[in-house]
Amino acid sequence: MRHLPSLRERSPVHGLERRRLGVLDVFAQSVSGAAPSAAMAATPVIVAASAGGATIVSFAVATVLALLVAACIGRFTRRMAAPGGLYSLTAQGLGPGAAFACGVASLLGYGLLCAAAVAGASTFLTVLLGGGRRVTVAAALVVGVVVVGLALRGVRVAARVVLLVETVAITVLVVVFALLLAGGSLPGPGDVPAAPDPGLSGIAAGVLPAVAAFIGFEIATSLGAEARRPFRTVPRAVGATAAVAGVLYLFAAYTQVVGFAGTPGGLAGQTEPVLVLASARGWSWIPTVLDLALSMSFFACAAATANALARVLFSLAREGVAPRALGRTHTRFRTPHVAITSSVPVAVAAFAVPVALGVPSWTVLVALLTLATAGFLVAYLLVCVAAPVFLRRIGELTWPAVATTAVIAPVLVVVLVAFLSGSPRAAVVLGATALLALGWYGWLRLRRRDTLDGIGVYDETVADDVLGRAA
């Protein structure tokens, strides 16, 4: 007679607050990670500089690409819940080497996105307060302390604060853009020649920054162990975030394209299109409201990415890949407190130190976002390639899974190469990171091969779950 394997007494990710987050909490984390409010205001004009009259088409293509990445992630998250997020998923399809690379890329992406979010919140707070460099640095420290406090206090508290803040920010931005759209086009000199057709190359060039507007939308995957119904909630949250962000970006792009339809150069000829549209209509209150909403959105993004960053470190530590201390959890709040207090200050310093040394805050913010995007693109590519391999391994391979990867993987390679070609500094930093990671991987391979082979732990059903005992 065949014996069934006995249930574990403890999950490999024990210590976290398992099965507590509701649908809205998980959804809010992913939406906040993408920070759609900030992208609505800043990204359309960047896309228009490359795509011209095809700005909206570029955003539509980027939305489809984000949905395809979400579909690949969903192949895993319907079957497993892992606080390590993308790297734990990649391990199930491509093995330890690719998983390690994805883990490093995820740390780079989440860490720098957290730093960029702190930078954005501090920069717009400084504009509101009317201060200079010292105020910006002080604001970054305050934002960092609040983010650490929220992340330590408990994932449910952090999720609900993020939900409230991001809801207010998105509502404000939607109202502002609806008013701008209702105001119609700015008056121009008369007959404005039609913008030249950008062609496929122009659309593709516009897709590049449009795709960058979606980074962080998959953050819900790192909360799988803490979601109440992870196999249903997480894939839906990731897919819905891609769809909602896409709709918001298309709405913002359409509003700005229409607003400058009668002016020479159109949207591509502007530097601060939203402020120009507001000033032309005499709405002097909009810049203040906009700065407040953007600082709130960046703050929510910082809190969400801090949670994801800490859980990736926690998962790597539980596997023995990172220092063991990072895998500890707080006995009362059930959060990875060592990972939180170790990682968020580094993210804050990545912004505050250059600014304190005299680098303009906006320059630091753009650099952090650029590098974060490179990390996310590598992680997305690996998890998309891993999806059909994983399904084949468990005997559930289908043609839609193969077709999805066949479409999205080459596109992500092209986007990544184009992105690095246009950002030499990002290429250098990514190359240096890859060399350090290779050394780290080689040391682990020599000294802790068994640990490395077991990379990619995920939450498992334990005896308490089946027998109804307290978790």
CATH of the domain at 77: 1.20.1740.10
**Structural domain contains residue 297:** yes
**Structural domain contains residue 3:** no
Please name which of 470, 39, 9, 42 lies closest in space to residue 274, comparing C-alpha atoms: 42
- Structurally, the chain folds into a number of domains equal to 1
Q: Which residues are CB-contacts of 305 (< 8 A; sequence separation ≥ 6)? A: 33, 110, 113, 114, 117, 216, 219
Q: Beta-carbon neighbour count of residue 358 at 10 Å?
A: 7
In this prediction, residue 202 carries a pLDDT of: 75
Using the structure block, give the residue that is written with the tokens 């460099």. Answer: 133
Please name which of 471, 370, 461 lies closest in space to residue 4, comparing C-alpha atoms: 461
* CB-based contact 85:304 (threshold 8 Å): no
* CB-based contact 379:102 (threshold 8 Å): yes
The β-bridge partners of 21 are 227
**Structural domain contains residue 143:** yes
Q: What is the amino acid identity at position 201?
A: S
**Structural domain contains residue 258:** yes
**Structural domain contains residue 10:** no
How many whole angstroms separate alpha carbon 144 and alpha carbon 305? 12
Domain around 437: 23-186+196-442
* CB-based contact 303:162 (threshold 8 Å): yes
How many whole angstroms separate alpha carbon 66 and alpha carbon 216? 11
**Structural domain contains residue 307:** yes
How many whole angstroms separate alpha carbon 452 and alpha carbon 149? 32
Q: What is the pTM of this model?
A: 0.93
Please name which of 424, 410, 418 lies closest in space to residue 201, comparing C-alpha atoms: 418
How many whole angstroms separate alpha carbon 120 and alpha carbon 136? 10
In this prediction, residue 198 carries a pLDDT of: 67
* CB-based contact 426:372 (threshold 8 Å): no
Each residue's pLDDT expressed in tens, for the chain with a length of 471 residues = 555 556 666 788 888 988 888 888 899 889 888 888 888 988 999 898 888 888 999 999 999 999 999 999 999 999 999 888 999 999 999 999 999 999 999 999 999 999 999 999 999 999 998 888 999 999 999 999 999 999 999 888 888 888 888 889 899 989 999 999 998 888 766 666 666 666 777 777 888 889 989 999 999 999 988 998 999 999 999 999 999 999 999 999 999 999 988 887 788 888 888 888 888 888 888 889 989 999 999 999 999 999 999 999 999 999 999 999 999 999 999 999 999 999 999 999 999 999 999 999 999 998 999 899 999 999 999 999 999 999 999 999 999 999 999 999 999 998 888 888 878 888 888 899 999 999 999 999 998 888 888 888 888 776 666 665 544
**Structural domain contains residue 8:** no
**Can you give the C-alpha Rg of the chain in angstroms?**
22
**Structural domain contains residue 459:** no
pLDDT tens readout for residues 296-344:
999 999 999 999 999 999 999 999 999 999 999 999 999 999 999 999 9
